[in-house]
A and B are shown apart, each in its own frame.
Chain A
Amino acid sequence: MGNEDITWPIIIASAIFFLAPAALVSYLVIYNGRKKKHAEEKMQMEQDFNSELVKTQHEIREQTMQTIGADLHDNIGQLLSLTSFTLKSIAHSEPDAMLKKVNDAIDLTARSIQEMRLLGKLLQGEQLVGLGLHEAIKQEVNWLQKTGVYEVNYTCKGLDSTAGNPEKDLILFRILQEIINNTIKHAQATCIHIDLNYADACLKLSIEDNGVGFGINELPAEQIGMGLQNIQKRASMIGGETTINSLPGSGTTIHVFIPYPQ
């Protein structure tokens, strides 16, 4: 074999020994680019989650303020107007009737104070999510029962209030509020049953009503987008799932499953 015969094999072999590490280095650079994309997506998801959390807090506060506003107008406002009207109608010439009207006014004032105390509790209820999901749901149920329109049953099993997850509690509580809002607006229900069950690192929230129900496939797209999809989106953000069972005329049952507390 002459000198020229082995020149090319040597050049090719050297090129291969150079290209092997070059391929490895190129692969690392390309893979690192994917890692960057993944890191950006992860950051975006965290930002979305935090923004949803802030939105949820805002919605809970807004709902509380709406309830307070409505209660001040419809309930306490009426009681105080009646008190004022009763006191104005007192005539000095009728001492017996005057005593009765004063007593009525005192009674109306006492009722107003009681209502104000309940409102105060509702305001505290906004902070209650921090004390645990169970406490927050209890407060919501109390308020719902007070309206006298619904028979509300609430059961809670297996949930340890000391080992919660405040972020998941907040989102789950908002999901509950949205479901109850939907029930109040559309279901024409008289009975609502809420069940919170914790087992095997999974928290299950079930809300069942005896309302008019609906055909899931028959709902207009915009209605699904505003209500049910919002519930499903929020549940999936905390790694959960939602199942909705409903038929026209036979009530609605919604189950939300989330991994809990982590």
Chain B
Amino acid sequence: MLLKYLTINTIAEVCCFIIAVVKLRKVNDIFWKSWIVFLFITCVTEFTGKYLKDLYLADRVHVHPNVWLYNILLIAQAFFIGMMFMHLLKKYTNSFIIIMSSFSLLMIIYLYELFSHGIYVYNELTNTVMLVIFILLSFLYYYYLLKDEAYTNLLYSGDFWWVAGVLFFYFGTTACNIFFEHLSPEKMKSIKHLTYYIYNAFNIVLYGCWSYSFICKRWEMKILPGQSS
């Protein structure tokens, strides 16, 4: 019964959540600690989404698709990932203005989509704009990192690997989305399994990078307790 809920995606998410709980619970950095909450929300959403999908497939007349749930998850994604970028960029620039401007833009698009087609249709435009913003924020972070004269061992830097995860996943999936959109529906249907594996691969990279970043954060806290906690 439970096995049907276990996919590559959910396994990666649950593993990442467990690592976050183990490694981040003692880190006294609210931005990092909030990832336990975010990953918990993500896992709950994934399992609930799977459950709702089964209900929908069983009764397409009375049950709505699970899209509304992922529309709500979009807000959580924008909030938690945006706040993390604000935290990471604040040592280089006035990140508050950048993040608040991005939030405002996303909120306008989100509300526009919500009013135009309701909550039962996925907010595709909000999702695309959000992904582009995250990619740009990742580039901005790496630009400042490159310019920074102070040396940090990047192989053990939690911040670096967290941003790497975001960049790998959102750049990869956004670029693939744009590429796949140009294929005809028939061809998309024929390569459905292939794209499923590709997205799963990007998911594994994302959660792998994030899990490693949590481990690095814990190391940093042990080595430099004053800076990380």
B142 touches A20 (CB 8 A): no
- Stretch of B19-27, B114-122, B147-155, B215-223 lying at the A interface: B147-155
8 Å CB interface, B122-175 against A: 142, 145-146, 149-155, 160, 164, 167-168, 171-172, 175
B205 touches A6 (CB 8 A): no
A6 touches B187 (CB 8 A): yes
A36 contacts which of B151, B160, B167, B171 (Cβ < 8 Å)? B151
Known contacts A11-B194, A14-B176, A17-B171; decide if A24 and B154 are in contact (CB<8 Å): no
A10 touches B205 (CB 8 A): no
A39 touches B155 (CB 8 A): no
B194 contacts which of A10, A25, A29, A35 (Cβ < 8 Å)? A10
- Bound Cα distance from A6 to B152, whole angstroms: 43
Any B CB within 8 A of the CB of A162: no
A18 touches B191 (CB 8 A): no
Contacts of A20 in B (CB 8 A): 171, 175
Any B CB within 8 A of the CB of A7: yes
B contacts with A, residue count (CB < 8 A): 30
- Bound Cα distance from A219 to B205, whole angstroms: 67
Contacts of A22 in B (CB 8 A): 168
- Considering the complex, give the chain B residue whose CB is closest to the CB of A1: B187
A25 touches B195 (CB 8 A): no
- Considering the complex, give the chain B residue whose CB is closest to the CB of A40: B151
- Considering the complex, give the chain A residue whose CB is closest to the CB of B152: A32
Contacts of B198 in A (CB 8 A): 10-11, 14
- Bound Cα distance from A17 to B177, whole angstroms: 11
Nearest Cβ in chain B — how far from A63, in angstroms?
Answer: 39
- Bound Cα distance from A115 to B160, whole angstroms: 69
Any A CB within 8 A of the CB of B80: no
Interface residues in chain A, defined as those with a beta carbon under 8 Å from any beta carbon in chain B? 1, 3, 6-7, 10-11, 13-14, 17-18, 20-22, 24-25, 28-29, 31-32, 35-36, 39
For the complex of A and B, 3 pairs with smallest distance between CB atoms? A17-B175, A39-B151, A3-B190
